[in-house]
Amino acid sequence: AVGSVFDEIMSRDLLETMITLVGSQISAPASHSQPLLMELLFILSVLANFSTALAAQLLDLSVCHLLRQLLLSADLGPSPAKQATSPAVLLRVLCVAVSLLPAVVHVSGKYLCDEERAKLFTGSKSHHLDHLCATFLPVLLDLLAISTEPPITSTGISLALALLLAAADRHEVVRASVDPTKFSCFLA
């Protein structure tokens, strides 16, 4: 019901404008850009979460590339060259990624992906899942190893598990995206 309302009021042009605004905030000074960036990411995550059609449009508008740029600009470790990104912005980036993925449902003792949303990542659209895995799995394993922020840790674990479940039949993508030692530590 909510998704159909979003589908009716959101045009592709408006989504493109929002993506452009997010992109413009990546290189802006952190003190000026973070409030706007957090709000834009929040709106994108809500839209993607409630509407499969809007999630599909966001994927087609290269939101994965934009999320990767945000992660690369984040200060995830001791690197003076990176701009400090607040935990709140990082959390919103993770939320957008989780919102794009299929929901995980528990059915008859098994965890499965929501079939309708999973269709966004099959056939000619499988490159979206490849890109999300390549972007987020390596960073998530590092992030989860150093994070002291409970919301980031819990959202990061949710995203990692959702990615792994969505890519369950694409072992080569997961193998290419993660270091086996770090992955073992994550599972432990």
- 120-153 confidence digits (pLDDT tens): 998 888 899 999 998 888 888 888 888 888 888 8
Distance between CA atoms of 38 and 159, rounded to whole angstroms? 18
**49 with 6: CB under 8 angstroms?**
no
Tell me the per-residue pLDDT of 3-54, one tens digit each, with 9 for 90 and over: 677 777 788 888 899 999 998 887 776 666 788 888 999 999 999 999 999 9
Rounded to whole angstroms, the Cα distance separating 184 from 71 reads: 23
The model's pTM? 0.81
Q: What is the pLDDT of residue 39?
A: 92
The partner residues of 106 in beta bridges, in order of sequence, read 111
Looking at residue 129, its amino acid is L
In percent, the amount of the chain with pLDDT more than 90 equals 21
Residue 79 confidence (pLDDT): 46
Distances (CA, A) of 156 to 10, 59, 81: 28, 20, 24
pLDDT of residue 82: 47
Compute the average pLDDT of residues 152-172.
Answer: 87
Q: How far is CA 94 from CA 77, 81, 88, 143, in A?
A: 17, 22, 10, 11
Picking from 67, 89, 86, the residue whose alpha carbon sits closest to that of residue 139 is: 67
Alpha helices in the chain (DSSP H): 2-9, 12-26, 30-50, 52-60, 63-73, 87-100, 115-118, 126-146, 150-166, 171-177, 180-187
Q: Is the pLDDT reported for residue 78 higher than 70? A: no
Does 179 have pLDDT greater than 60?
yes
Mean pLDDT (the chain) is 84
Instruction: Answer whether residue 77 shows pLDDT above 70.
Output: no
Average pLDDT over residues 87-111: 87
Could you say which DSSP state residue 111 is in? E
